[in-house]
Amino acid sequence: MTGATSTGIKAPTVDVVLLPPRGQGDWELLSEDERSRAGTLGNVDVRERYVHARAGLRRVLAAATGRPAENLEFTYGPHGKPALADGGLRFSVAHDGPMAVVVLGDVEVGVDAQRRVTRDVSRIVRRFSPAEQAQIEDSADPAEEFTIRWVCKEAVLKAIGSGLSVPLSNVEVTRQNGRLVVDASAIDDRPWSVVVGRLASGHYVGVAIAADRPVVRWRSRPAA
């Protein structure tokens, strides 16, 4: 997956796919492991969303790889990051309530989705870097700025595979000339880019890509 740039150099391209609402046949696509996992989830809403996201992920990966959705096999990193057992395509999945999104590409990717925060996040902001705290505080809309930084940090941490097992300050997201810039050098030496999209549902979707200036394509359906 690459896109031509004005220089002729192929830039890494990632696809952002919003999953459709839960459909027929979701359960049948899941592996035995996934069905067992669903069975351990006591909260019905959480269980239904898990089934929806896993089936949707399988459909997106099937469309991208040309393989049957139900035959895809996954491995999991130490903090639960899924990968295709035979490598190749990289992906990440996020959901917030009934909304779910998958990002896929040839380089490492991560995604997080969150509505604009209305809860008290003061304790979390204190875990951001001084530069991030200052930029959020000085912005015209601190709640939105916080939400944007959060989905970017989470997306990078999911891409790296650590999740929240490392301090949030290890991934710094600042604005430089209006552009979001990531510094994750404390835990990862790859160049990271982040892109944030705001959906009609009110969700902010943060996408992290292990590449400089990638091409990000927003799609509502699985890429053929």
Partner 1 sequence: MDTMQIRKVVIEAIADVAPEADVDGLDSDVDIAEELDLDSMDSLNVFATISEELDVDIPEREYGQLRTLDQLVSYLEQKVA
Instruction: Give contact residues for partner 1 (rule: CB under 8 A).
Output: 41-43, 45-46, 79, 96, 114, 117, 119-121, 123-124, 126-127, 150, 154, 163-168
Helices (H), the chain: 26-29, 32-40, 44-65, 122-125, 130-138, 142-160
Residue 48 or 106 having the CB closest to partner 1: 48
Residue with tokens 């639960």: 80
Q: At its nearest, how many Å lie between partner 1 and the CB of residue 151?
A: 10
Residue with tokens 């690459």: 2
Residue 127 or 221 having the CB closest to partner 1: 127
Question: Cβ atoms within 10 A of the Cβ of 118, count?
Answer: 8
Rounded to whole angstroms, how far apart are CA atoms 146 and 149?
Answer: 5
Q: At its nearest, how many Å lie between partner 1 and the CB of residue 124?
A: 6
Q: At its nearest, how many Å lie between partner 1 and the CB of residue 75?
A: 18
φ/ψ of residue 164, rounded to 5: -85, 25
Token digits for 140? 């015209």
Residue 69 or 100 having the CB closest to partner 1: 100
Q: At its nearest, how many Å lie between partner 1 and the CB of residue 67?
A: 30
Residue 184 or 215 having the CB closest to partner 1: 184
Q: At its nearest, how many Å lie between partner 1 and the CB of residue 45?
A: 6
Q: Which residues of 161-193 are buried (b: 16+ CB within 10 A; e: fewer)?
A: bbeeebebebbbbebeeeebebebeeebeeebb
Residue 121 or 181 having the CB closest to partner 1: 121
Rounded to whole angstroms, how far apart are CA atoms 50 and 100?
Answer: 10
